[in-house]
Amino acid sequence: MSDPVSVTSGTSATAAATTAAATTTTAAGRTISAFAAEEERRVLGLRPVLAPAHGRYGDHPHQVYDLWPAAGGHDDAPLVILLHGGYWRYDRMHLTPFAAYLAGQGLTTLLPGFRRSGGAGGYPETFDDIARIVDTLPAGRPYVLAGHCSGGHLALWAGARALLPADSPWHSTGSPTAILALAPLTDLEATVRDRLSEDAALQLLGGPQALPDRLPLVDPVTLLRGPGTTGVRTVLLHGAVDEEVPQDQFTDYAAVHRDLEVVVLPDTGHYTLIEPGAPGARAVAEQLHRLAAEFTPGRTAGNAAGAGSTA
C-alpha cells in the first residue's frame, strides 16, 4: 500500500477514489462497488473475540465494557478507549476482533458498550453514556479516545464538550488526552440530508421535529463553527476509497477545525481500518502509538509500535 498522505491545519484532504467497475446494490438500495461490498462482508463477518476482562460503569445492562490488556503485560502500555460504529444502533461485537488486535500491538484496549438508538438509547441516553465513559473509565490515566464511523462521531463530540453551553449536563472542561477519529461521521445535518443507513441520524435524534434543538448540541461540525478548535489533539484518519461515509464529511470537518491533522490512506476503504492485520489497521495502530508517544515522557512511537506485534 502507498504511504499515507497527511494534511494538517484544517486543509481539505482530497483523494482520487478508484472503484471497481462492477457494482452491487445493498439491502437498503445503496449502490456500492464490488470492492466495497466484499470489504464490508469480509470484515463484518469476522467472528467475535471474547475479552479476558469485563466491567461495568453503570447499572444499565448496556453500561459495560470489555478490556484487553496490552500483549506482554506492560503496565505502562498506552490506554485506548475504542468507541464502536454501527450508526448508533448496533452493538460492539463486530469491533472485538479489532480490539484484540490492538492489544496484540501493545495497546491496552477498552471497548465499552452504551445505550443505542432503537432500544434504550438515542438522544439523550447515548450521549449520557459517552460522557460517563470518558469521565470515569480512564481513571486518571492519559489515553487516546478512538472511534470508527458513528463511534468516530461520538469521539469527536466527546472532545468538543467544552464548547457546549455551560448549563448543558454534558459540558465539561475535562477531555480525552488525544482523539483518533476513524472514517467518522462528522456532520449530522449532512447525515440526515443524505439519509445514511436508512435515516440513522434522525433515529438517533428523535425525528425531524427534534433536529433544531438537539442537533446543535451533538454535531461536531456545528460545535466547531466559530471556535475553530476543541483544544484537544485530534487526528482524522480515513481511506481514500471509503464508500460508506461521503468524503465531504471529512473535508468539511477539516475546513472548520483549524488544528486538525488529517491522514488519508490511499487504496483503502471504510472497513479495512478495523480489519485485524490489514494495512489500514496497521496504520491505525501506528497512529495510536504516535499519539501516545506525544503525551508519554520517554516513549517513542518507533519503539512502541513494535511492542507485542502479532502482524
**Per-residue pLDDT tens for 187-199?**
999 999 999 999 9
Beta strands in the chain, from DSSP E residues, in sequence order: 5-8, 23-25, 31-33, 53-56, 64-68, 79-83, 108-112, 144-148, 178-182, 233-239, 261-265
pLDDT of residue 301: 67
Left if phi > 0, otherwise alpha if psi is -120 to 50, otherwise beta: which for 216? alpha
- Cis amide leading into 169 (omega within 30): no
Residue type present at position 45: G
pLDDT of residue 101: 98
The domain of 285 spans: 5-304
pLDDT of residue 232: 98
In this predicted model, what pLDDT tens digit does every residue of 78-125 receive, in sequence order?
999 999 999 999 999 999 999 999 999 999 999 999 999 999 999 999
- Are 260 and 249 in contact, with CB atoms under 8 Å apart? no
Examine the pLDDT at 307 and tell me if it is beyond 90: no
pLDDT of residue 73: 80
pTM: 0.90
- Total domain count for the chain? 1
Residue partners of 92: CB distance under 8 A and separation at least 6: 66, 84, 111, 112, 113
Q: Would you mind telling me the total number of residues written for the chain in this entry?
A: 311
Nearest to 101, CA basis, from 55, 39, 46: 46
More confident position, 119 or 133: 133
In this predicted model, what pLDDT tens digit does every residue of 234-247 receive, in sequence order?
999 999 999 999 99
| Residue 311 belongs to some domain of the structure | no
pLDDT of residue 31: 83
| Residue 224 belongs to some domain of the structure | yes
Question: In this structure, what C-alpha cell is assigned to residue 25?
Answer: 446494490
Question: In this structure, what C-alpha cell is assigned to residue 296?
Answer: 508519554
Banded model confidence at residue 25, pLDDT cuts 50, 70, 90: low
| Residue 294 belongs to some domain of the structure | yes
pLDDT of residue 302: 53
Banded model confidence at residue 72, pLDDT cuts 50, 70, 90: confident
The enclosing domain of 213 has a CATH number of 3.40.50.1820
- In sequence order, the β-bridge partners of residue 110 are 67, 81
Nearest to 204, CA basis, from 309, 120, 117: 117
Question: In this structure, what C-alpha cell is assigned to residue 301?
Answer: 512511537
Rounded to an integer, the average pLDDT of 45-50 is 98
pLDDT of residue 15: 35
Above pLDDT 70, what percent of the chain? 87
Pairing relationship of beta strands 108-112 and 64-68 according to DSSP bridges: antiparallel
Examine the pLDDT at 207 and tell me if it is beyond 50: yes
In this predicted model, what pLDDT tens digit does every residue of 3-15 receive, in sequence order?
565 654 343 333 3
Question: In this structure, what C-alpha cell is assigned to residue 266?
Answer: 490511499
| Residue 309 belongs to some domain of the structure | no
| Residue 30 belongs to some domain of the structure | yes
Q: Quote the mean pLDDT of the chain.
A: 90
pLDDT of residue 3: 53
Question: Exposed, middle or buried by CB within 10 Å (0-12, 13-18, 19+), for 8?
Answer: middle
Banded model confidence at residue 277, pLDDT cuts 50, 70, 90: very high
| Residue 226 belongs to some domain of the structure | yes
Rounded to an integer, the average pLDDT of 155-160 is 98
pLDDT of residue 213: 97
Residue type present at position 231: G
